[in-house]
């Protein structure tokens, strides 16, 4: 599994292609169930199709993270996969970002502004 600390308080998961996608998401869910003190970014750059078990794991992960006050962001999601999310009514359920850097920015907007020199309203999200 491609899990790495992307920044303080954020974990990046690079998913493999199906059929391993669901297994990797199950591992992430187990990790979050034991320790839920970080946001999760899921990188779909290697995923071409998505099985229903993977969608179920993503829904579970979203609920666990939200219950802990953290966020799940999906990035590098292909057009075909976005269409699947849309067809099953999940296109507004998940947060999407174009790439992992945009996902990190949405996870920690205050941190990004502090690094870019914007000191106006530093505590505002």
CATH number where 103 lies: 3.30.750.24
110 falls in which pLDDT band (50, 70, 90)?
very low
Total count of domains within the chain: 1
Residue 121 maps to a domain: no
Write the DSSP assignment of 106-125 as a string of letters.
HH-HHHHHHHHT--SSTT--
Residue 103 maps to a domain: yes
Over residues 58-87, the pLDDT tens digits come to: 999 999 999 999 999 999 999 999 998 999
Residue range of the domain that includes 76: 2-116
Helix (H) or strand (E) holding 103: helix 100-107
Residue 123 maps to a domain: no
Whole-angstrom CA distances from 100 to 51, 74, 77 are 22, 8, 11
Scanning the structure block, which residue is given the tokens 């179920």? 56
pLDDT at 36: 84
Over residues 2-19, the pLDDT tens digits come to: 666 656 789 999 999 888
Residue 34 maps to a domain: yes
Residue 125 maps to a domain: no
104 falls in which pLDDT band (50, 70, 90)?
confident
């Amino acid at each position: 599994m491609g899990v790495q600390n992307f920044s303080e308080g954020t974990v990046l998961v690079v998913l493999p292609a199906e059929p391993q996608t669901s297994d990797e998401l199950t591992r992430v869910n187990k990790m979050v169930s034991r320790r839920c003190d970080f946001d999760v970014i899921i990188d779909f750059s290697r995923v071409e199709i998505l099985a229903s078990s993977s969608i179920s794991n993503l829904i579970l992960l979203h609920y666990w993270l939200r219950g802990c006050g953290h966020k799940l962001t999906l990035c590098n999601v292909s057009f075909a996969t976005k269409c699947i999310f849309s067809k099953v009514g999940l296109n507004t359920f998940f947060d999407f970002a174009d790439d992992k850097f945009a996902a990190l920015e949405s996870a920690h907007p205050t941190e990004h502004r502090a690094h870019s020199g914007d000191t106006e309203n530093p505590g505002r999200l």
